[in-house]
Amino acid sequence: MARSSRIPFSTDDSLWLAIGLYSALVLVIGVPLAMIVLWSFADGWFPPALIPTAFTLEHWRQIVEDRGLAEATLRSILIATTVTALSGVIALPTAWAMARFPFRMKRAVEMFVLAPLIVPGLVVAVGVGQLFLSLRLAYTVPGVILVQLIGTLPLMIRLLSASLGTIPEDLLLAARALGASPLRAMLAVVLPLSVPTLVAGGLLTFVESFQEFDMSFIVGAPLVETLPVRLFFYLDGSGIRFTSAAVVSLILLAPVLIVFVLAGRIMRDDVMASGMGKL
């Protein structure tokens, strides 16, 4: 974003600006995150201590020993992987149709595809939850997978149709002229060219699924525990367990941040904002 400044700045000014911004950054973002990290290693941290009096790895060892936590982690990974794979496969034909063909109800379909992102997850989930209760899908892993798809499909469809729309029609016609049937043209030309978007979209979808709470909670809890659901139980009601909560928070954050950086390399700002902001 190499925009020329509207107002010329001397290096002095921009240095102060930088100092101010970074200080704010450390305070506003750094401190809360530091809290979590500290709590995960804290061995007794009571007021008025500003940092824990002692540190321990005990809470981290809990991950392995606490079966519920280990299970929840594995379950979250399994669900996120499945949701990602399914989203990609299901979104592809829809995104293709939307990217390349004008059709009469296109605007309506666009809005419909966008709607699940706008309507709060809670509202969607209670509606789906009731349906799943009658279908005996409630409190099951497939149920959680399906309900998460509601949130990830619109994202994938939007990302994919943006990228599929950039493939020049000439390339497909050239492939057809060279003897490829429409299907082979898709596989040999469209798919390879979509890989960056599929990867980036896949990463974002994995993240979204891994950290999804609202809908997984309504449909799954208390029988199906994903990691975010488990975290909620550590925070809910009496006996809040900060130390365990901290550990789970970090587990939730670590892959998300890694993927965030990776996806950031592949995609542009605004596309990623759409992804993360679930626009």
Partner 1 sequence: MKGDQPNGRTIALLLLPGVGLLALLFGIPLVSGIFGSFGLGMGAGRNAGPTLASYAKVFGDPRYLAGLRTTLYYGAMAVLVDLVVAIPLALALGRSFVGRKLFNGLYKIPLAVPGIVVAFAMLTLLEQGGFLSRVLHLVGLSLPRLVRDPWGIGVIAAMAWKDIPFMTLIIVGSFAAVPEELLHAARAFGASPLRAFLKVRLPLAMPGITAAILLSFIRSTGSFVIPDVLGASYPLPLSVLMYQAFRDSNWPLVYAIGTVLMLASFLILLSYYFLTARIVAPAGGGGR
Partner 2 sequence: MAHLRIAGLTKSFADAVALHPTDLDVEQGEFITLLGPSGCGKSTFLRMLMGIAAPSGGAIWLAGARIDAMPPEKRNIAMVFQSYALFPHLSVLGNLAFGLKMKKVPKAEQERRIAHAVRICNLGPYVARMPRQLSGGQQQRVALARAIVMEPDLLLFDEPLSNLDAKLRETLREELLTLHRRVGGTSIYVTHDQDEAMSMSDRIVVMNEGRVVETGTPFDLYRAPRSRFTARFLGRTTLVDALAGKGMARLPWGQMMPIDSAASGPVALSIRPEDLDPALDPDGAGVVTGFQFLGSAVFYHVLAGDIRLTASAPAREAPIPAGSRVALISRAPLHVLDDSAGAAS
Binding site for partner 2 (CB under 8 A): 168, 170-171, 173-181, 184, 188-189, 192-193
Which residue do the tokens 């305070």 mark? 27
Contact between 239 and partner 1 per CB under 8 A: no
Beta carbon nearer to partner 2, 188 or 273: 188
| Closest to 190 in 3D by CA, of 96, 88, 89, 112 | 96
Q: Where are the alpha helices (DSSP H) in the chain?
A: 11-25, 31-41, 58-65, 67-100, 106-118, 121-135, 141-164, 169-177, 182-185, 191-211, 214-220, 227-235, 242-266, 269-276
Tell me if 148 sits within 8 A of 215, measured CB to CB. yes
Closer by beta carbon to partner 2, 174 or else 261:
174
C-beta closer to partner 2: residue 46 or 101: 101
Q: Which does 57 bind (CB under 5 to 8 A by kind): partner 2, partner 1, none?
A: none
Which of the listed partners (partner 1, partner 2, none) does 236 bind, with a CB threshold of 5 to 8 Å by partner kind?
Answer: partner 1
| 266 interacts with partner 1 by CB under 8 A | no
Choose, by CB under 8 A, the member of 63, 131, 189, 266 that binds partner 1. 131
What residues numbered 59-88 form the site for partner 1, per CB under 8 A? none
Instruction: Select from 67, 101, 179, 238 the one that contacts partner 1 (CB under 8 A).
Output: 101
Distance CA(231)–CA(214), nearest Å, equals 12
Q: How far apart are CA 142 and CA 201, in angstroms?
A: 22
What are the two backbone dihedrals, phi and then psi, of residue 42, each rounded to the nearest 5 degrees?
-75, 135
Q: Which residues, including other chains, have CB under 8 Å from residue 88's CB and lie 6 or more apart?
A: 156, 198, 201, 202, 205
List the single partner that 116 binds among partner 2, partner 1, none, CB under 5 to 8 Å by kind: partner 1
Q: Pick what 257 binds: partner 1, partner 2, none; C-beta below 5 to 8 Å, kind-dependent.
A: partner 1
Whole-angstrom distance, CA of residue 6 vs CA of residue 11: 15
Using CB distances below 5 to 8 A depending on partner kind, what does residue 6 bind out of partner 2, partner 1, none?
partner 1
Cβ proximity to partner 1, 146 vs 198, nearer residue: 146
Question: Which does residue 85 touch among partner 2, partner 1, none (CB within 5 to 8 A, set by kind)?
Answer: none
For helices 106-118 and 67-100, the axis angle rounded to 10 degrees is 160
Q: Which of 44, 68, 93, 142 binds partner 1 (CB under 8 A)?
A: 93
Binding positions for partner 1, 139-158, rule CB under 8 A: 146-147, 149-150, 153-154, 157
